[in-house]
Amino acid sequence: MKKIYFVLLLTIFLGFVAGNKASGQGVCQNCPQQYPFCYTLTIPESVCPSLEPNTVTFCYNIEYCPNRIDIFVLELEIRLECYNDFWEWFLNWIGNNIASLCGYKPCDEPPPMEINYTVPICGRVEWYGSHRKLVYRYGQGDCDKRCVSKVLWCINGNQTYWVVVSKTVIGTGDCPEINYMDRFSTDPASQYYQWGIDCTRIIGVNCEME
């Protein structure tokens, strides 16, 4: 039974990565070189109700699966009212769906899978008042600072288990802490109806262990 389940997960896994090469696919072409695959996930309406899709695009490396996978959040497009809940939801999504990305790692066959989940601390922020939508993009060069969460994951039957064991700040970039939360406007006459900040601390990203 375990062998059949493994083959089924492997089939799903191979089907998922096929066609998800990062090169030459819109925003995915901006994935760092060490992340050869890319996927744009539509955030469910149960998480963020909207007439237009809200999405998160992430790059990933499956070279060492099922022992390890590296995930890098590249871009987030989301309605303002959904932003505060996004980061926790997405980490939960990874924990619940990682088998489709990296295969099957039983709890009784240690060590567990290691997930290195990277989110930008510094980056570009854009606001579009016509859609009430925020856009976050990871910073590059002098704006490159990221938080890497190390997650250990395994599965026992149909039950998944995972825990964040560390968080580490990487990257040599730096960014000002601009309070852009008071710059959101849906009034076309306002100077804050549509804007972009090239490099700022991304509000809501926490790289401290709780």
Confidence band for 210, pLDDT divided at 50, 70 and 90: confident
pLDDT for the residue 104:
87
pLDDT for the residue 5:
35
pTM score = 0.85
Q: Residue 202 pLDDT > 90, yes or no? A: yes
Mean pLDDT of the chain: 87
Helix (H, G, I), strand (E, B) or coil at 136: strand
pLDDT for the residue 22:
55
CA distance 123 to 139: 4
Query: What average pLDDT score do residues 70-94 get?
Result: 92
pLDDT for the residue 209:
83
pLDDT for the residue 206:
86
Which pLDDT tens digit goes with each residue over 21-41?
Answer: 554 468 899 999 999 999 999
Q: Residue 86 pLDDT > 70, yes or no? A: yes
Which pLDDT tens digit goes with each residue over 129-150?
Answer: 998 899 999 998 999 999 999 9
Query: What does R_g of the chain's alpha carbons equal in angstroms?
Result: 18
> At CA 139, angle to CA 68 and CA 60, rounded to 5?
20
